[in-house]
Structure 1
Amino acid sequence: MGSKWRKMKKALGLNLCTYLPRTLEEPPSSCLNSAEKLSDAALLSPVNWPMTPTPSSYGLRLSRNSSKSSKQTCSICLTKMKEGGGHAIFTAECSHSFHFHCIASNVKHGNQVCPVCRSKWKDIPMQHPMLDLPVLFDRSHNDAAINLARRLHPPRRVMNQGHAPQIQASEPSMFNDDEQLEQLPVIPGKSSSSNDVSDNNRPVRMMDIKIHPEVSAVPRAQSCGNFDVLVHLKAAATVAGHAVSENNQISQYPRAPVDLVTVLDISGSMAGTKLALLKRAMGFVIQNLGSNDRLSVIAFSSTARRLFPLTRMSDTGRQQALQAVNSLVANGGTNIAEGLRKGTKVMEDRREKNPVSSIILLSDGRDTYTMNQPEPNYKLLLPLSMHSNDNKRFQIPVHSFGFGSDHDASLMHSVSEISGGTFSFIESEAVIQDALAQCIGGLLSVAVQELRLEIDGVCPDVRLGSIKAGSYSSVVLDDGRSGIIDVGDLYADEERDFLVSINIPAENAGSETPLLKLRCVYKGPLTKEIVTLESHVLKIQRPEKVGPEVVSIEVDRQRNRFLAAEAMAQARTSAEQGDLSTAASILENCRRVLSETAAAKSRDRFCAALDAELKEMQERMTSRHVYEASGRAYILSGLSSHSWQRATARGGDSIDVSSLVQAYQTPSMAEMLRRSQAMFLGSPSNHRLIQPLLSFTSEPKPR
């Protein structure tokens, strides 16, 4: 026992062992020089969730109850463990115990170390594939048995550069082994023009349209070019998973289930606290998916492997997912392209499809296999089926999360832009779970799909000049007589604002001029019905003379947003060319222009937050080192958020900037984020992150 204990202490010194039980010969924990640490396995346990992770090279401290609870709970499946409970119990030579089927699954995924203390095992637990009985293989005394096991379970070796090979089970050539969907209750639906929402036989209207002209009147004899009209769209809110229309009518439609593939970086740079926090965040995601949602996990380093097929997150599915995530070990290089290829293959090969599909990519590094050219082509990272086009623009978005100072923000932002997803910058790995929670909150609340906005000029002489729609695909048709914006999916209570520039002709007579009429066409995620919603005709007053007109704050606010986004893009271009002074000057000039607008002079909170964000970007351009470490990622995350009008996670501790990050946050996102942050309340290090969110979302959104 003494020699084994010395080996364990040596492993602890090498930071290979995260927790060691105290023996009778050891002094109390208060006398130890080294802090006891949580293992990656224990991080997934709900018993330990209220603890606050802090980024540290020394790991995370173990709570007082963890040691006792770990003896009663299997650290892999997180369920109670006792003799006579119908499951075999395996006790390793390091004295830690697990359900036999759990640890056998762990070993099958390539791990041959204790998930709790990280000590290497000589006795390897396996399961006989035919009899489903426990079999224990001693590497030093039972070579024949090992050879038999290898014939029964042929492993595939994945060679990681500079590291020992990792053993994993072979994968099928086709990922068409997704778990069958549970039959959802049939919801009667029919095509409708949703102008009549009071009829109980019709579905609840899931969209609302509002139109704001920049001014309410134009002199009759005056023509007006570049007249801005704001189109405001808003999806229905939800109460306990049911849709609520503008007149508070509640629909009995359940939310649309999700097919989610997470592509996780487990390269060598993820070792230690990063991987532990990533596992914990994935545990949160797994616990908050519904029984009709399906999840598959892709882990990549030098190569990529699928941990398990698309599986419904029933009790059994959750247990299997937790086991697989807990088996992850960090080593090797960073092959993002291979991870994305395998993640998209899971989506493409599936036999059945849930109404909502999405891929989440998390990485802290740079692709060292595909994107090592001087001018990399980021489109090569995704197959053509994932590229934005008229047919599949919003089918499977990739929401990417880059954390730390070494990730490739340009790559991850490009992947999201190509697929129609968002890019988030996680400056501190301590908030990985919060960032994922916000994203999941949106995906689990999709209210409408394939939303298309059609704009028609009513007056024969009215022409559309341009459409400002950010990253959304838009086009002006019929010589300016009409236009189309492809919006895609909207989360419950989510809003979209677009500026349409038109010309207004002079009038010889008449007190008003009809300008535009709008039409929304969208699909219900569950009913699959196509719904058409038409707006009223926008008319503008045409008196002989017009007094001083006040520009609409709603219109001016969106003008400011587009001005800020354009300045961010220009500043980024200058910074990438090495001219940081010009980049900072562009942002400063934009701040000065915004300060003179009607919205700024009326102390509009959204405009004030834009100014704070631009200032934060300036400060992240003080030097090339600062820009490379955080400035680029911060700007790209801001561009992603404003161009898609969707909340992203972003670095920065400023209250105003943190508030702006939540400007597009929906109630469903806020609720999921609240669940995540509730686990960490009481930690002084996280108050700074929580308070700005609470103070902002308690007030009306800046619309």
Structure 2
Amino acid sequence: MEGPDQSNDPCAICLGGMGARGGQAIFTAECSHTFHFHCISASVAHGHLVCPLCNAQWRELPFVRPAQPSPVPPTLPQQPLPRMEPMHHHVQPPPIRNQPMHGVQLPSQPEVFDDDEQVEPPSAQHGQRQEAAASGSGGSLLVVETHTEYSAVAMESSRDNFAVLVHVKAPGISGGEAADGDAPRVPLDLVTVLDVSGSMSGEKLALLKQAMGFVIDNLGPHDRLSVVSFSSGARRVTRLLRMSDAGKGLATRAVESLVARGGTNIAEGLRTAAKVLDERRHRNAVSSVILLSDGQDNYTMTRREHGAAPNYEALVPPSFMANGTRDWSAAIHTFGFGNDHDAAAMHVISESTGGTFSYIENEAVIQDAFAQCIGGLLTVVVQGLRVAIACGHSGVRIRSIESGRYESRVDDDGRAATVAVGELYADEERRFLLFLTVPAAAASDGEQTTLIKVCCSYHDAAGGAHVDVTAEDTVVTRPEQVVEAAERSSEVERERVRVEAAADIAAARAAAERGAHQEAVEILEHRQRAVAQSEAARGGDPTSLALGAELHEMRRRVSNRGSYERSGRAYMLCSINMHAQQRANTRELRQSALVGPGIGGASAASGGESVSNAAGPVGVSSVAAETSSFATPAMRAMLLRSRWAREASAEQQPPPPPKAGEAQESSGPESLNQ
């Protein structure tokens, strides 16, 4: 089976160019991977009957008669050779556990995916970091702070809804910028689940391959990557490989071999990813999945009674679910590609597994979206974070907690509460609003009341050391009288504005889903006005200003059914996911609303974003955009690296001819990572 001349591509076995052996013939396997005929024949002669890249069982194999008869290895019984045909062996493959759906014939896969490449053993530096984390030395501890709505409550007064903000910030990565490949960090097991259905053909697939090339280039030698593709069925394109130079070569070659055809079977793609992670022999400390699709699942989601609401959780294997039994954590970060993807499905998949949902409206920036995501995944420093809150004064009670998607629990007597947070990236922050009942103070209580005591427990990702961090007691002073115009905490105010806006975004989305688009617009308009009138926004707080822009953009996208179906639903679900997670994802604003030239604008790190408040468009600095996005320094650095790479690549290629009417257009979408 000789293919065309591919002298510019490397052989996946020897990594030499296809022309490196003086005209050696080329063998293209059924799984589309390409090798020197000599290399693969030698491999087959030693009994290797599967693809060394993806482990697919081959039905047709190359055969080169050796110059001298080769003895049968003593560990194998003497058997007659299978019947020969020119240049091929015909080998009966073992039974396939899961047959591809709808008659699509894919290369067979191993019964068990336990062929993952071994992880790198812990280094001496790794052990030193673990000891430092356990002892709290080296500035590697989580930072825990609290802020009270007011610093004082009159002695004879009581409060029924007194707000306290609990703020936690993860430690940074020591040894330089987190984006620096030499900085010490925890290695990652990453599975990318890529849609290669027929609708991904052409430019979409080319952009996806480019984005995957960037991911591969930026993974370190201790990280491991497995590529899974799906269309009507799914296949593991590469086993879980360490991203050494050789591993990167194999992964790059595998990605380049992808072709687009068939339907869209998201569930099968995720089942294959779950199999890769469930059956691996070795495990890095951090595991994650990236899922990209441009369409709607037309297999699993069609199997429901007519008229019944879609059960999108049926797409998610049980081992990924937040309530599943597992001893590892692997969130699914979903990417809706273009305007025809199923935003509701992608949102449910991400929410049910603790991942993020990103909406890639402008397909050209898929690489940026992947870059921001892996910029976080490569810097996990905290795992299993749990925040415990206990009341100090005997009369204080916890009424409620605003914790977004993070599971929280308040004891029946209101004396204690917990929030399960999970993983944090380096420098990542979480804010939780507590609402307390504060009693009037007795003379014996002294000059202050202790409201709450906060303790955080977690595992340091570098080595699993258990760490406990206790914040200073949260107190309010109890003077006889308090001035009515007492200053309010800006930290508490900013978070209250954001939480209330997030609630209204969810309400507006519910209205739009039932077709009440004008009601949705009114909800968002009312909230945008409230944000603009808040003390935080009037004081120039960048987070509140950017929140106003977000609400303004939603009003445009939700105003009618067509706009909502085209992009509004995806945009709103992205926003809901971002606020619930307090973690950066990717959305977009119109270029007509942007300030600054080109991709980078005045600040390449910000994308030159512009926001609007009730009074109209206003410019926002890069600091504002970064603050509003929840993006960490490492995520912004990786995003900037991607933009530089895209610009450099664009400069090396002639610009494509404009499409019809494009020359007259003055605006188009540009990426805003939030």
2:468 paired with 1:532: yes
Contact 2:204 2:363 in 1 (8 A): yes
Contact 2:173 2:185 in 1 (8 A): no
Work out which of the residue numbers 259, 273, 291 in structure 1 matches 2:189: 259
Alpha carbons of structure 1 residues 222 and 184: separation in structure 2 relative to 1, 3 Å: same
Contact 2:290 2:332 in 1 (8 A): yes
**Following the alignment from structure 1 to structure 2, what is the Cα–Cα distance between the partners of residues 402 and 479?**
44
Contact 1:394 1:450 in 2 (8 A): no
Work out which of the residue numbers 167, 173, 184 in structure 2 matches 1:232: 167
Contact 2:336 2:346 in 1 (8 A): yes
TM-superposed deviation, 1:78: 12
Secondary structure of 2:629's aligned partner: coil
**Following the alignment from structure 1 to structure 2, what is the Cα–Cα distance between the partners of residues 77 and 125?**
7
Contact 1:394 1:489 in 2 (8 A): no
Alpha carbons of structure 1 residues 228 and 391: separation in structure 2 relative to 1, 3 Å: farther
Work out which of the residue numbers 565, 570, 576 in structure 1 matches 2:507: 570
Secondary structure of 1:308's aligned partner: coil
Q: Which residue of 1 aligns with 2:368?
A: 434
Q: What's the RMSD between the two structures over aligned residues?
A: 3.6
TM-superposed deviation, 1:394: 8.0
Alpha carbons of structure 1 residues 150 and 432: separation in structure 2 relative to 1, 3 Å: farther
Q: Which residue of 1 aligns with 2:603?
A: none
Work out which of the residue numbers 14, 20, 44 in structure 2 matches 1:130: 44
Query: Structure 1 counterpart of 2:261, which letter?
Result: N
Alpha carbons of structure 1 residues 603 and 662: separation in structure 2 relative to 1, 3 Å: closer
**Following the alignment from structure 1 to structure 2, what is the Cα–Cα distance between the partners of residues 79 and 125?**
10
Q: Which residue of 1 aligns with 2:380?
A: 446
**Following the alignment from structure 2 to structure 1, what is the Cα–Cα distance between the partners of residues 630 and 9?**
41
2:244 paired with 1:314: yes
Partner deviation per Cα, 1:62-97 (whole Å, 9 max, x = no partner): xxxxxxxx96664989977386x5x56556xxxxxx
TM-superposed deviation, 1:290: 1.0
Contact 1:379 1:418 in 2 (8 A): yes
Partner deviation per Cα, 1:391-431 (whole Å, 9 max, x = no partner): 66981100000011110000010001000101000001101
2:281 paired with 1:367: no
Q: Which runs of 5+ in 1 are unaligned?
A: 1-19, 22-69, 92-99, 115-122, 138-142, 244-251, 697-703
Work out which of the residue numbers 424, 428, 440 in structure 2 matches 1:506: 440
Work out which of the residue numbers 573, 577, 580 in structure 1 matches 2:517: 580
Identity over aligned pairs, percent: 42
Partner deviation per Cα, 1:330-389 (whole Å, 9 max, x = no partner): 000000011111111111111121100001100000000011234121221122222113
Alpha carbons of structure 1 residues 81 and 193: separation in structure 2 relative to 1, 3 Å: closer
Query: Structure 1 counterpart of 2:122, which letter?
Result: L
2:587 paired with 1:650: yes
TM-superposed deviation, 1:149: 3.1
Contact 1:220 1:543 in 2 (8 A): yes
Alpha carbons of structure 1 residues 315 and 127: separation in structure 2 relative to 1, 3 Å: same
Work out which of the residue numbers 323, 327, 335 in structure 1 matches 2:253: 323
Query: Structure 2 counterpart of 1:633, which letter?
Result: A
**Following the alignment from structure 1 to structure 2, what is the Cα–Cα distance between the partners of residues 526 and 337?**
33
Q: Which residue of 2 aligns with 1:57?
A: none
Alpha carbons of structure 1 residues 402 and 661: separation in structure 2 relative to 1, 3 Å: farther
Contact 1:257 1:293 in 2 (8 A): yes
Partner deviation per Cα, 1:595-637 (whole Å, 9 max, x = no partner): 2222122121111111110110110013212111110000011
Q: Which residue of 2 aligns with 1:119?
A: none
**Following the alignment from structure 1 to structure 2, what is the Cα–Cα distance between the partners of residues 78 and 630?**
47
Query: Structure 1 counterpart of 2:109, which letter?
Result: E
Alpha carbons of structure 1 residues 341 and 159: separation in structure 2 relative to 1, 3 Å: closer
**Following the alignment from structure 2 to structure 1, what is the Cα–Cα distance between the partners of residues 133 and 492?**
26
**Following the alignment from structure 2 to structure 1, what is the Cα–Cα distance between the partners of residues 153 and 538?**
23
Query: Structure 2 counterpart of 1:537, which letter?
Result: D
Contact 2:291 2:332 in 1 (8 A): yes
2:516 paired with 1:543: no
**Following the alignment from structure 1 to structure 2, what is the Cα–Cα distance between the partners of residues 409 and 144?**
52
Q: Which residue of 2 aligns with 1:36?
A: none
Work out which of the residue numbers 609, 618, 633 in structure 2 matches 1:667: 633
**Following the alignment from structure 1 to structure 2, what is the Cα–Cα distance between the partners of residues 282 and 191?**
32
**Following the alignment from structure 1 to structure 2, what is the Cα–Cα distance between the partners of residues 495 and 578?**
36
Contact 1:677 1:690 in 2 (8 A): no
Alignment of 1:342-357 (within 5 A): 342-357=272-287
TM-score by length of 1: 0.76
Contact 2:392 2:452 in 1 (8 A): yes
Q: Which runs of 5+ in 2 are unaligned?
A: 49-60, 65-82, 594-608, 612-621, 657-666
**Following the alignment from structure 1 to structure 2, what is the Cα–Cα distance between the partners of residues 148 and 81?**
24
Contact 1:153 1:169 in 2 (8 A): no
Aligned residue pair count: 585
Work out which of the residue numbers 92, 103, 120 in structure 2 matches 1:182: 120
Q: Which residue of 2 aligns with 1:639?
A: 576
Work out which of the residue numbers 588, 598, 622 in structure 1 matches 2:535: 598
Contact 1:235 1:494 in 2 (8 A): yes
**Following the alignment from structure 1 to structure 2, what is the Cα–Cα distance between the partners of residues 474 and 369?**
36
The 10-residue stretch of structure 1 (309-318 or 589-598) with the greater mean CA deviation from structure 2: 589-598
